[in-house]
Structure 1
Amino acid sequence: MSKIADPLKPTCEQIIDIIPDPFVVIDRDYQIVAANRAYRARYGVEIGELVGRRCHEVSHHSSVPCSENGEHCPLEDVLERKHSTQVMHVHYDNNGKEEYVQLHASPLLDESGEVRYIGESIFKVVTHDVDNDALLVGRSQPLFRMASLLQRVAPTQTTVLLTGESGSGKEQVAKYVHHYSTRANRDFVVVDCGALGESLIESELFGYERGAFTGATQRKKGLFEAADGGTLFIDEVGELPLSLQTKLLRALETSQIRRVGGTEYIPVDVRIIAATNRNLQAMVAEGQFRQDLYYRLSAFPVQVPPLRERKDDIPRLAEYFLSQMEDADRHIPLSAEVIETLLDYDYPGNVRELRNIIERAAILACDDIIRPEHIVLERPEERKPDLSVFETPIRLLSRRSGRLSGEAVLHALNQAQGHRARAAELLGVSERTLYRYIRRMKQAEAG
């Protein structure tokens, strides 16, 4: 005797309609077999026009699967490994507008344990009224893979360690994590350990009491207290002296700090994001960095890819930098010849170098459009002057007062013929640290 369907029992379509976010069921050939109301509304397609179409046609506006467009395809992962996965993608909504989404794809198995269908949930990456492109510019797969990790860790309170080459954009990545965290409406505070001497780092981080040292005429709160309730970004953490590593570790483990010259411990609620371009594991092996602090900071390590590994982002980055300049409309969009010139370079200075190249090109172009001859690149075969004879005196000059001085910076820039990367090498600091110091010098002159 055949079973009679219960008219009160909900159908599969009714069940998935309960899901508030867009949800779609896809077969092994990327064909849509079911989709909920939220999915249909997001992409502006009625149910009668949806079933049987391929998912990449609807959400990507593409005639081929995303893997053939160079994107990571979560469906292929699920089919191959038979377990859930999540990635970031670019979709197009019902108005044809580009949007960043997080995809969660899970297998629906048949009786033999094989993947029969794939269920895919789609979550829009909320921007909190800030242009997402201003945080992480680009659409390359290395950038999306990193962003997918950041989206997972951002809502948590876990400490994040960003590693990567100088100029790769670690501070922007830290801002991205803060922006998508539960602390987004509180302060994002930066401390650069490479720009300060040991005594200054301690007082900057933890503050000081009146009379703690000569010149301490009044109590000052440190950056830990300034970041209370928000995020503290500790840049160049590998430059932190061993004596302060112990104090930082205690602050991380107890959520309490003590000001220089103080006796009381002050509770702080701070999310830590640290960054370095150094190999902290090697420093641990050499006794230059505390192992316990390393493990405490590296709870969630994220490698920031160098620009040479995400060249697909170069045109977008270049036009983004141009858009921040005066009279940007004159230079945008860049010609195919200019983009080809930009792509034919490996950028040892990463995103920071690209920004400098674009700024220089805009200046050279004057009132004209940017042409290939305005793109000045430093090729590896170009001979560099021998700067070793200047290294010791300049480093000594830069550390005479325990911090960078204007005299040392100007001297190093002069010896390096204006090349910031070489000047930073002479001073024994990162290019980021030098760039920040120059910016502060300019602001002081303008004030």
Structure 2
Amino acid sequence: MLDNMEGAVDQAGFLATTDTPVAIVGARGTGKMYIARVLHAKTGASPEALEVVDCREFRNRDEANRRIREALLSGAGKTLVFKSPHVMNIESQLKLARQIATRRLADTETPTYLPAVRLIALFPDNLQRLLLQGSLHERLASVFAGYPIQVPPIRQRKRAILRWAYKILGQEQEHVTGKKHIRGFTPEAEQVMREHTWHGNISEIRSRIVHALEHKQDGEWLTPVDLKLFRGEQTIITTMALPLQDMDAYAARHESYSPNAWEELDVILGDRVNRVLQEATPLPLGTWLADEVVLAALARYSGDQGRAATFLQTSRRNLSRWLPGIRQRSSARASSSLWLEPARLIGDWVRGLGIAGVAPLAQAEMLLLGHLEARRQDTTINFRGQLLGVSKPTYVKKVRDLEATA
């Protein structure tokens, strides 16, 4: 087997013999959906009997309740996988928890029992931490807390890193035109991959390999430079305190803790602002940030501009109007060694977002604006406006709006 994930595969096999609701817990990119498929396969059911209920896509409470009701009613013989149920409205979480606990459908005049259905929920963090953050209702945590499967980060599965890297390389070469001649990784690349922290886990391995294949000009072996793995880059997340976190609380976290994509993006954007200010190079960070959010939304919906526009809370016409400029700037973004990590993290963050709430473009802009204002003593409004990609009057207005929101 490629990777037993420190016993997660064995645990999934055991729980497949029970009807217990199962929580699969792990940071982004660790392979939670893979474990869900393993558990489902161990039941002997057909692959078509696995249905994913993506709770990130619910616009509001009514839609969440309706979609969950439909899934439960038609769930006979199926495995229902609730993806990120903690992003739902708290009332919807409580309603789902009651239906699971009682095995009865809610809002019916006569008792209606749920069909025989297997229930799995995928969570990006420890249930207790999600409870403390206030994003997960205690009743929903309780119904899935019996035998949670913890999928450890890839850095705790060191022997699996190169196996995954070679597997992904074989898969991705089929999709990158003219790159089927790549034979593997240099010894230096293998060494730096073993040493890298891989906060993005398997998703980060794939992202770096795809980027390397797309930009490799010649040669049969991928190098650390191709993978954009530099030892100096690896220390940024681990040596800087996560923003807005109490240091004692951070130190007390379990060793398996991995920062989420938003926390990493916060840190990396702060680092990029510092570097740009030190070098006095007016890179259009705000423009590139918006570009990557739009591209990540399109990737999330496999190029469907209508759904991407809805997710971004804009019109399809606006999205079509933005795309030529985004494509025109693609070579500049790709050629900047400072931008690979922010681009990857933006993709990870956008994939995990719920569809309701503050528009993603506004969230990203506020994050960058906060870092720019934190360095206001070191530069001018004009320069900060250049970095955000707006005029001085617009920048001043955005700062006022940010202060009003805060």
Q: What interval of TM-score do these two structures reach, taking the shorter chain for normalisation?
A: 0.5 to 0.7
Question: CA distance change for structure 1 residues 189 and 336 in 2, over 3 Å: closer, same or farther?
Answer: same
TM-score (norm: length of structure 1): 0.51
Q: What's the counterpart of residue 270 of structure 1? A: 117
- Could you tell me how far apart the structure 2 residues matched to 1:406 and 1:332 are? 43
Contact 2:6–2:152, Cα closer than 8 Å, also in 1: no
State the partner residue of 2:311: 404
**1:101-250 equivalent positions in 2, closer than 5 A:** 137-138=2-3, 143-184=5-46, 187-198=49-60, 199-206=62-69, 222-250=70-98
Residue in 2 aligned with 1:295? 142
Query: Is 1:305 aligned to residue 152 of structure 2?
Result: yes
Match of 1:419 in 2: 343
Report the secondary structure of 2:272's partner residue. Answer: coil
Indicate whether 1:430 and 2:352 are aligned. yes
Deviation track 1:253-305 (CA, whole Å, cap 9, x = no partner) reads 3434368xx86747322111111113432444566533232121111111110
CA shift in 2, pair 1:348/1:196, >3 Å: same
Q: Tell me the C-alpha RMSD between the 2 structures.
A: 4.1
- CA gap of 1:281–1:313, structure 2 versus 1, over 3 A, is same
Any idea what the Cα deviations from partners look like across 1:50-69, whole Å, max 9, x if unmatched? xxxxxxxxxxxxxxxxxxxx
1:350 and 2:201 correspond? yes
Counterpart AA for 2:18: T
User: 8 Å contact 2:24–2:150 — kept in the other structure?
Assistant: yes
In structure 2, the CA distance between the partners of 1:317 and 1:267, relative to structure 1 (3 Å rule), is same
- Name the CA distance, whole Å, in 2 between partners of 1:404 and 1:314: 33
**2:372 aligned residue:** none
Task: Tell me how far 1:309 sits from its aligned partner.
Answer: 0.9
Relative to structure 1, is the Cα distance of residues 185 and 236 closer, same or farther in structure 2, using a 3 angstrom cutoff?
closer
Letter in 1 for 2:228: V
Higher relative contact order (CA 8 A, sep 6+): 2
Q: Which runs of 5+ in 1 are unaligned?
A: 1-132, 207-221, 434-447
Q: Give the greater-gyration-radius structure (CA).
A: 1
Name the stretch that deviates more: 339-348 or 381-390. 381-390
Q: Does structure 1 conserve the Cα–Cα contact (< 8 Å) formed by 2:80 and 2:120?
A: yes
Conservation of the 8 A alpha-carbon contact between 2:309 and 2:315:
no
Show the counterpart of 1:93: none
User: What is the Cα deviation at residue 365 of structure 1?
Assistant: 2.5
Distance in 2 of aligned mates of 1:402 and 1:247 = 30
From the superposition, tell whether residues 328 and 296 of structure 1 become closer, same or farther in structure 2 (CA, over 3 Å).
farther
Asked if the contact 2:26–2:126 (Cα under 8 Å) also holds between the matched residues in 1, the reply is no
Partner of 1:374: 226
The 3 A distance-change label for structure 1 pair 266 and 173 is same
The normalised TM-score by structure 2 is: 0.56
Q: How many pairs are equivalent?
A: 271
Post-superposition offset of 1:163: 1.3
2:272 matched residue in structure 1: 384
1:46-85 superposed matches below 5 A: none
Within 1, Cα distance between the matches of 2:122 and 2:314?
28
> Structure 2: how far apart are the matches of 1:185 and 1:349?
27
